[in-house]
Amino acid sequence: MSSKKKKKAKRSTKKVSITPDHRITKVIESHTEETASWRIFKIIGEFVSGYEFLKNYPLSASIFGSSRRGFQDEIYKEAQKLGYKLAEAGFAVITGGGPGVMEAANRGAYNAGGKSVGINIQLAVKQKTNPYVRESIAVNYFFIRKLMLSFASEVYIFFPGGFGTLDEFFDLITLIQTKKSKPIPIILINREYWSPLLGWIENQVYKKNHAIDREDMNIYHLVNTADEAFQLIQNLADMR
């Protein structure tokens, strides 16, 4: 390489290493002390109002699942059936208040004349609360909504869903595994959807890599239908 090309390469490398990313700088500068303090108080306020809201439901079930499931979908029908059964049994049915599986579960509870509850999120483009929610609260931050849903109930039920559903599932089983939360029944519905993931956890995470203990896989229960889920909930309740 000629001395001219070497100098050019050197100048190019030096420029990349010392040039700050103005976008990052802009973000850092925007977090003033005043803004941070205001945000902390807002977060505290949402936690307080959220937990006061949840006190109204001493017996409840949180139901998670895809917001993209349509009315004709079998998953929707199963979620609606379970919501109905739980409401009849005296459970408040708590969801994220949105469409899909959340709507189905709320719809079942609503049709049973029970407590149909939604914990919604306030977005720039407002997320519409489904029409079957009787009582609701809206929060600004996803992590507050997630925490409220995670500590709201006596049983947690997961229908097939996307990243949000999986995030809630792994967060809950981690809390129970690390004893940050008391043991709470976690039920996964639909074997076709969940079996590949649970097989991967058993074979790759447990057997091959020893990243969890065998008893960690007892934290959750797999069933196929709403009827099986409801029967399991009744059996677990009798064991307590």
Interval 58-83: pLDDT, tens = 899 999 999 887 767 899 999 999 99
128-167: pLDDT as tens digits: 789 999 998 888 887 887 777 777 789 999 999 999 899 9
Res 63: pLDDT? 96
CATH architecture for the domain at 59-239: 3-Layer(aba) Sandwich (3.40)
d(CA 240, CA 236): 7
| DSSP summary character for residue 218 | G
Res 14: pLDDT? 47
Burial of residue 125 (number of CB atoms within 10 Å: 0-12, 13-18, 19+): exposed
Report which residue type is found at 129. T
Report the predicted TM-score, pTM, of the whole model to 2 decimal places: 0.81
The SS3 call for residue 183 is coil
Token digits of residue 195: 């079996």
180-212: pLDDT as tens digits: 888 899 999 999 999 999 999 999 999 999 999
**Which residue from 129, 136, 150 is spatially nearest to 64, judged by alpha carbons?**
150
How many angstroms separate the Cα of 90 from the Cα of each of 113, 142, 206?
Answer: 10, 28, 38
pLDDT confidence band for 109 (50 / 70 / 90): very high
Q: How far is CA 146 from the centre of its chain?
A: 6
Domain positions in the chain? 59-239
Q: What phi and psi values does residue 109 have, to the nearest 5 degrees?
A: -65, -40
41-59: pLDDT as tens digits: 888 888 888 888 888 898 9
The answer to whether 78 touches 93, Cβ cutoff 8 Å, is: no
8, 11, 13, 15 alpha-carbon torsion, rounded to 10°: -140
In the block, which residue shows the tokens 């505290």? 44
Is the predicted pLDDT of residue 5 greater than 90, yes or no? no
d(CA 126, CA 148): 20
Is the predicted pLDDT of residue 127 greater than 90, yes or no? no
Structure-model confidence comparison of residues 100 and 144, the more confident one = 100
d(CA 119, CA 124): 17
